[in-house]
Amino acid sequence: MILDEFTADIEQRPAYLRELAGRLVDEQPWSVLRPHEVRRIQLIGMGSSRFAARVGAWRLRRAGVHAVAEYASDPGLAGGQGTLVVAISATGKSAETIAAAHRAKAAGSTVVALTDDPTSPLAELAGRHVLLGAGEERSGIVCRTYTHTLALLLSLERHLEGGSDIELDVAGIVKRSAIAVEDLLERRDHWIDWVGDRLDSTDGLFVTAPVARISSAEQSALMVRLVPRRLAVACETGDWSHVDVYLTKTRDYRMLLYPGSRWEPELLRWTAERRTKVVAVGNAPAGVEALRYAGDHDPLVAVLAETTVAEIVADLWRPQLRRPRSDEAWGVAADPIR
Q: How far is CA 88 from the centre of its chain?
A: 13
What confidence score (pLDDT) does residue 161 get?
Answer: 78
The confidence score (pLDDT) of residue 334 equals: 31
Give the helix ranges, DSSP H, for 27-87: 48-62
Specify the pTM.
0.91
- Sheet strand arrangement including 67-71: 67-71, 40-45, 83-88, 110-115, 128-131
CA dist., res. 273 & res. 6, Å (int): 38
Residue 87: CB atoms within 10 Å: 31
Per-residue confidence (pLDDT) for residue 275, from 0 to 100: 94
pLDDT of residue 79: 81
State how far the alpha carbon of 327 is from the alpha carbons of 126, 228, 232, 288, 331, in Å: 48, 13, 18, 32, 6
Q: Which pLDDT does position 338 carry in this prediction?
A: 28
Residues in the chain predicted with pLDDT less than 70, given as ranges, are 162-166, 320-338
CB < 8 Å & 24+ apart, contacts of 280-286: 281/256, 281/257, 281/306, 281/309, 282/258, 282/306, 283/259, 284/257, 284/259, 285/259
Q: Which of 300, 314, 218 has the alpha carbon at shortest distance from 260?
A: 300
The predicted structure's pLDDT at residue 273 = 95
DSSP H or E segment with residue 159:
helix 144-161
DSSP state of 129: E
Evaluate whether 131 touches 112 at the Cβ level (below 8 Å).
Answer: no
CA distances from 279 to 52, 193, 220, 287 (A): 23, 13, 14, 11
Task: Decide: 112 and 84 in contact? Cβ < 8 Å.
Answer: yes
Distances (CA, A) of 204 to 274, 283, 331: 17, 24, 11
Q: What are phi and psi of 259, to 5 degrees?
A: -80, 170
Dist CA 147 CA 98 (whole Å): 21
